[in-house]
Structure 1
Amino acid sequence: MTIDLINDMIPPLKITDDATKALIWMEELRLHALPVIKDKKFLGFLTEEMIMDHNTVDAKAGDFLLKGENCFVFEYQHTYEAVKKATDFDFECVVILNDDNEYLGVVVLSDALSIFSQSASIQSEGGVIVLSLNQSDYSLSEISRLIESNEAQVMGSSLNIDKNEPTKFRLTLKINKIDLTHVIATLERFGYKVVAKYQEVKSISNEKERLDMLMRYLDA
């Protein structure tokens, strides 16, 4: 869960903190934006660019028109959701809230990616299949059984609402086979709609490649 990856070294700014303090913290932490809070409520991010454009270091964090007030996830959500939210807003980190919408901390994108880099489902060679299916038809155990009948295994999965058809799911599966021909044929024979497929034949060597692979899972 996201709460397990909170970086305690990154403090939030209070609305009374001035821009000078914000710039010093950003330089020390090597970040270009910091969250701003008031009474444990997250208000948005103050960015280095905003301070430079404002052209005064005496301004308080609360004086700025903050950005990314929706760049947050809840503590119980999966780390995938945190990564997706950070990339959607093009921030280096995402805020974590509790059920009372109170600020808990931030997860840094690079920290999350370091976890994914150790994941077998990301690192291993194989193929990726994306299925579109009715929500009532979703059964990962049944789909896995069909895949295993072709001497293949599901190494990882991601389930999202289909952006084109909100009544349906999109299920992304990482499979430990590069040749997906027989697996796809079996799935289609049992009525599953395959909307995309990819082959991954090289190891992932840098952060951008890991992010690209992860976003392929989340956005497929």
Structure 2
Amino acid sequence: MIIRNLTYDFFQPLKKSDKVSSALRLMYEYKISHAPVVEESTYLGIISENDLLVMPNKSEKIESLCKALPKPFIKENEHILNALNIISNLQIEVLPVLDNDHQYKGLITAEQVLKEIAGIFSLENPGGIIILEVNLNDYSMSEIARIIEANDTKILSSGVKIIPDSTKIEITLKLNVMNIEPVIQTFMRYNYNIIFYFGDNEKNEEVLKERYELLMRYLNT
């Protein structure tokens, strides 16, 4: 998914001549804590709600705050995963979109990005998750797919994570069924190292909760 395919013109950017009170009202209306400041399509940076709230005179223009604004952005021809990385690292909920000439084009939200990525990786669809650790030289997606499909199961999405300072990789597999026990048993017969799995073969509620929390920690690393 490329950024230009998203809708990102929902918010009229702030101008240096806007009053603090007006900026706060707009941010409250759109339920965002950061907003872009733009002058004639030139992106000046994003201003935070906290910056505005500490201003003693709410009738003052925001121009005085625009001299050293942070300038996070993403180009409209970049992939949405790059947007997730920026939003996550900077802990912001909106991200300005620029064209190749660094002109302001619009704004995307963290919620938009997460929804699109959930669709890409089929996170909204039911199904089990298996994470394998394999040597890079032994990696064969065709063999992994064959093992899974031999158990009447399909791969909805997959991802590969390189382990730093190692010859190993982690392969995350999202499957189309929750009962993944047959797939797990087959992987074990082929001596695959399964470092995590999540499915309804775990009947104990506490075990399910523990595995879910482990998955969330894994995805956040």
Q: Same fold (TM over 0.5)?
A: yes
Deviation at 1:155, TM superposition (A): 1.1
Pair 56,155 (structure 1): closer, same or farther in 2 beyond 3 Å: same
Alignment pair present for 1:103 and 2:104: yes
RMSD value, Cα: 3.8
Instruction: Work out which structure has the larger RCO, using CA pairs closer than 8 Å and 6 or more positions apart in sequence.
Output: 1
Aligned residue number for residue 74 of structure 2: 73
Alignment pair present for 1:35 and 2:36: yes
Distance across 1 between alignment mates of 2:127 and 2:136: 26
CA offset digits 1:148-198 (Å, max 9, x no partner): 122211112334444x55876543221123233442344455565433222
Distance across 1 between alignment mates of 2:167 and 2:103: 32
AA at the equivalent of 1:60: I
Pair 157,92 (structure 1): closer, same or farther in 2 beyond 3 Å: same
Deviation at 1:128, TM superposition (A): 1.0
Deviation at 1:147, TM superposition (A): 1.7
Alignment pair present for 1:60 and 2:62: yes
Provide the secondary structure at the position in 2 that maps to 1:54.
coil
> Which runs of no fewer than 5 residues in structure 2 stay unpaired?
202-212
Aligned residue number for residue 131 of structure 2: 130
Provide the secondary structure at the position in 2 that maps to 1:122.
coil
Q: Say how many residue pairs are matched.
A: 206
CA offset digits 1:71-114 (Å, max 9, x no partner): x4333444344345334433222233344554332212333455
Aligned residue number for residue 179 of structure 2: 179
> Which runs of no fewer than 5 residues in structure 1 stay unpaired?
202-211
TM-score relative to the length of structure 1: 0.68
Provide the secondary structure at the position in 2 that maps to 1:36.
strand
Pair 79,52 (structure 1): closer, same or farther in 2 beyond 3 Å: same
AA at the equivalent of 1:63: L
Pair 7,192 (structure 1): closer, same or farther in 2 beyond 3 Å: same
User: Percent identity between the aligned chains?
Assistant: 30
Distance across 2 between alignment mates of 1:185 and 1:97: 49
Pair 14,175 (structure 1): closer, same or farther in 2 beyond 3 Å: same
Deviation at 1:20, TM superposition (A): 3.2
Aligned residue number for residue 9 of structure 1: 10
Pair 59,159 (structure 1): closer, same or farther in 2 beyond 3 Å: farther
TM-score relative to the length of structure 2: 0.68
Distance across 1 between alignment mates of 2:100 and 2:219: 24
Deviates more, 1:182-191 or 1:6-15: 182-191
Distance across 1 between alignment mates of 2:62 and 2:166: 42
Distance across 2 between alignment mates of 1:152 and 1:160: 23
